Structure 1
Amino acid sequence: MLVEAFDFQLGNPVHQGLSVIGKSFATTGGKVLIHSPYANQSIAAANQVQIAPAKNKEMRFLNTNKEIVAMSAGALNIAKDNEILFVGSRTNLLAYGNYSINLTLPDVENNCDIFDKEVSDGVNCLSFGTFPQIGAPLIVAGGNCSITGFDLQAEERFWTVTGDNATALEFLDWDEDGDDELLAGSEDFSIRIFKQEEMLQDINEQSKIQFIKKIHKCVFGYSLMNGTFGVYHGKKRLWRQKGKDKVTALVGVDFDIDGQYLLLIGYTSGVIEARKHRTGDLLHKTQVESGGHPVSNIFYYDFRMEGLPQVIAIDVEGNVKGLALTRNVKQFQAIENNGDELAVETKAIDDAFVDLNRQKLELMSKLESIKEKKDQKKAQPKGQQQQVSSHNLPPGRNDIRFSQLADPNSTTCIMTITINKPGWIIKSVILCNEALFEGESFAVYPQQSTNTVQIPLRSEKNQELQVDIKVLMGTGLNSSQFLIHHEPKYTFRKFSMFKYLGQDQKLLFQKPESQVMFVCERGVIQNIVDWTQQSFIMSEHGDLKKSLIQYNQQQIILKYIDARSFLPLIISAMMGGAGLQDFCSNFLKIGELESTCSFPSEIKKLGDLLALIEESNQLKTHFSANISENINNLKVQIVKAEASLMINDIESMKKNYAQVQQENGALIGEYLKRSNNHQNLISTLKELNAMIKNASNLRLGNAQKRIVAEAREAIKTNTSQKIATVFQRGTARV
Structure 2
Amino acid sequence: MQISKVQPVFKLELNHKVTPNIVTVAKYDGTHPCLTASAGYDKIIIHHPHGGVVSGRAQRSQAHGEISELNLSQAVIALAAGPLRPDSGRDMLLIGSPSQILAYDVHDNSDLFFKEAQDGVNVIITGTFGKYLDNLAIVGGNSSVQGLNWQGDEVFWNVVGGKVCSMITFDFDKDGENELLIGCEDSYIRVLKNNQFMTELAETGPVICLTPVTDVKFAYGLANGTIGIYEEGIRLWRVKSKQNTISLQWSGESLACCWENGRIDWREGHSGRVLRRVQLRSAAAAMLLVDYRSEGTPDLVCVSDRGEVLGYPPYQETTGFVSSKTLPSEEDRQAITELFNRKQALMVELQHYEANAASGSTSLEVAERPATSMPTNTRLQVAVTASPEEGCLELAIATNNETIVRAALVLAEGMFETGETLARHPAPAQLRSLLHAPLRPPRDVPVDVHIKALVGYADSEQFHIFELTKQLPRFSMYTLAPKTITSTKHGSHVTFRITERVQRICMWINQNFILEEDVELESEDAKELHVNFICLRDRSRLEMGFKADGQVKINTTDIRLAGDLVQSLAVFLNLADLQSVAHFPDAEKKLRDEMDNASDVGEMRSRLAAETAERAQLITALLPAAQDAAAYDLNAKSLQRSRDVERRAFGGMSRASCNTRTSCGFAQKPSHYFATGF
Residue 494 (structure 1) shift:
0.8
Residue 371 (structure 1) shift:
4.7
Q: Which residue of 1 aligns with 2:541?
A: 566
1:194-593 → structure 2 map (5 Å cutoff): 194-243=192-241, 245-253=243-251, 255=252, 261-286=253-278, 292-325=281-314, 327=316, 343-344=330-331, 346-347=333-334, 349-351=336-338, 353-354=340-341, 357-358=344-345, 360-361=347-348, 364=351, 367-368=354-355, 371=358, 377=364, 393=375, 396-397=378-379, 400-407=381-388, 410-421=390-401, 423-437=402-416, 438-447=418-427, 448-476=430-458, 478-480=459-461, 482-487=463-468, 489-504=469-484, 506-507=485-486, 510-523=488-501, 525-540=502-517, 544-546=520-522, 559-564=532-537, 565-568=540-543, 569-593=554-578
C-alpha separation between the residues in 2 aligned to 1:562 and 1:642? Answer: 75
Report the CA distance shift for 1:456/1:61 in structure 2 as closer, same or farther (over 3 A): same
1:20 partnered with 2:9: no
Alignment partner of 1:609 out of 591, 594, 610: 594
Write the letter of the residue equivalent to 1:426. V
Report the CA distance shift for 1:187/1:546 in structure 2 as closer, same or farther (over 3 A): farther
- SS of the equivalent of 2:132 reads coil
Residue 577 (structure 1) shift:
2.1
C-alpha separation between the residues in 1 aligned to 2:461 and 2:315? Answer: 55
Q: Is the 8 A contact 1:227 1:243 kept in 2?
A: yes
Larger RCO of the pair (alpha carbons < 8 Å, separation 6+) = 1
C-alpha separation between the residues in 1 aligned to 2:476 and 2:149? Answer: 44
Unaligned runs of 5+ in 2: 29-33, 544-553, 638-678
Provide the aligned length of Structure 1 versus Structure 2: 596
C-alpha separation between the residues in 2 aligned to 1:502 and 1:328? Answer: 65
Residue 599 (structure 1) shift:
1.1
Residue 395 (structure 1) shift:
6.0
Q: Deviations over 1:172-207 (max 9, x none)?
A: 222222211111111222222221233333223332
Residue 216 (structure 1) shift:
2.7
Alignment partner of 1:152 out of 150, 153, 156: 150
Q: Is the 8 A contact 1:512 1:566 kept in 2?
A: no
C-alpha separation between the residues in 2 aligned to 1:379 and 1:598? Answer: 67
Q: Is the 8 A contact 1:550 1:557 kept in 2?
A: no
Report the CA distance shift for 1:413/1:378 in structure 2 as closer, same or farther (over 3 A): closer
Q: Which residue of 2 aligns with 1:65?
A: 73
Report the CA distance shift for 1:633/1:520 in structure 2 as closer, same or farther (over 3 A): same
Q: Deviations over 1:614-667 (max 9, x none)?
A: 111112223334555667788969959977985789xxxxxxxxxxxxxxxxxx
Q: Is the 8 A contact 1:495 1:535 kept in 2?
A: yes
Q: Which residue of 2 aligns with 1:117?
A: 115
C-alpha separation between the residues in 1 aligned to 2:100 and 2:351? Answer: 64
Q: Is the 8 A contact 1:428 1:446 kept in 2?
A: yes
- SS of the equivalent of 2:503 reads helix
Write the letter of the residue equivalent to 2:20. Q
Q: Is the 8 A contact 2:404 2:431 kept in 1?
A: yes
Report the CA distance shift for 1:631/1:360 in structure 2 as closer, same or farther (over 3 A): farther
C-alpha separation between the residues in 2 aligned to 1:452 and 1:161? Answer: 49
Residue 373 (structure 1) shift:
7.4
Q: Which residue of 1 aligns with 2:585?
A: 600
C-alpha separation between the residues in 1 aligned to 2:498 and 2:189? Answer: 29
Unaligned runs of 5+ in 1: 44-52, 99-107, 256-260, 650-734
Of Structure 1 and Structure 2, the greater strand share is in 2
Q: Which residue of 2 aligns with 1:33?
A: 45
Residue 496 (structure 1) shift:
0.7
Q: Is the 8 A contact 2:406 2:425 kept in 1?
A: yes
Residue 497 (structure 1) shift:
0.7
Q: Which residue of 1 aligns with 2:182?
A: 184
Q: Is the 8 A contact 1:273 1:286 kept in 2?
A: yes
Report the CA distance shift for 1:10/1:485 in structure 2 as closer, same or farther (over 3 A): closer
Q: Which residue of 1 aligns with 2:86?
A: 78
Q: Is the 8 A contact 1:215 1:221 kept in 2?
A: yes
Q: Which residue of 1 aligns with 2:11?
A: 7
Q: Deviations over 1:195-231 (max 9, x none)?
A: 1233333223332222111233222222222223233
Q: Deviations over 1:277-317 (max 9, x none)?
A: 234344444455xxx11222122222233433333222212
C-alpha separation between the residues in 2 aligned to 1:157 and 1:610? Answer: 24
1:645-664 → structure 2 map (5 Å cutoff): 646=634
- SS of the equivalent of 2:555 reads coil
Q: Is the 8 A contact 2:47 2:68 kept in 1?
A: yes
Q: Is the 8 A contact 2:382 2:395 kept in 1?
A: no
- SS of the equivalent of 2:130 reads coil
Q: Is the 8 A contact 1:406 1:497 kept in 2?
A: no
C-alpha separation between the residues in 1 aligned to 2:510 and 2:124? Answer: 41
Report the CA distance shift for 1:343/1:571 in structure 2 as closer, same or farther (over 3 A): farther
C-alpha separation between the residues in 2 aligned to 1:273 and 1:329? Answer: 14
C-alpha separation between the residues in 2 aligned to 1:482 and 1:301? Answer: 52
Q: Is the 8 A contact 2:495 2:581 kept in 1?
A: yes
- SS of the equivalent of 1:249 reads strand
C-alpha separation between the residues in 2 aligned to 1:39 and 1:57? Answer: 11
C-alpha separation between the residues in 1 aligned to 2:51 and 2:248? Answer: 27
Report the CA distance shift for 1:40/1:500 in structure 2 as closer, same or farther (over 3 A): same
Q: Which residue of 1 aligns with 2:666?
A: none
Q: Is the 8 A contact 2:267 2:275 kept in 1?
A: yes
Report the CA distance shift for 1:358/1:2 in structure 2 as closer, same or farther (over 3 A): closer
Residue 520 (structure 1) shift:
1.5
Which TM-score applies when normalising by structure 1? 0.72
C-alpha separation between the residues in 2 aligned to 1:425 and 1:10? Answer: 61
- SS of the equivalent of 2:591 reads helix
Report the CA distance shift for 1:551/1:512 in structure 2 as closer, same or farther (over 3 A): farther
Q: Is the 8 A contact 1:36 1:57 kept in 2?
A: no
Report the CA distance shift for 1:646/1:597 in structure 2 as closer, same or farther (over 3 A): same
Q: Which residue of 2 aligns with 1:716?
A: none
Q: Is the 8 A contact 1:394 1:483 kept in 2?
A: no
Q: Deviations over 1:229-260 (max 9, x none)?
A: 2333332333333345443232223x3xxxxx
Report the CA distance shift for 1:563/1:303 in structure 2 as closer, same or farther (over 3 A): same
Q: Is the 8 A contact 2:570 2:578 kept in 1?
A: no
Report the CA distance shift for 1:567/1:138 in structure 2 as closer, same or farther (over 3 A): farther
Report the CA distance shift for 1:205/1:618 in structure 2 as closer, same or farther (over 3 A): same
Q: Deviations over 1:131-187 (max 9, x none)?
A: 231222211112223222111122222222333211111112222222111111112
Report the CA distance shift for 1:112/1:513 in structure 2 as closer, same or farther (over 3 A): same
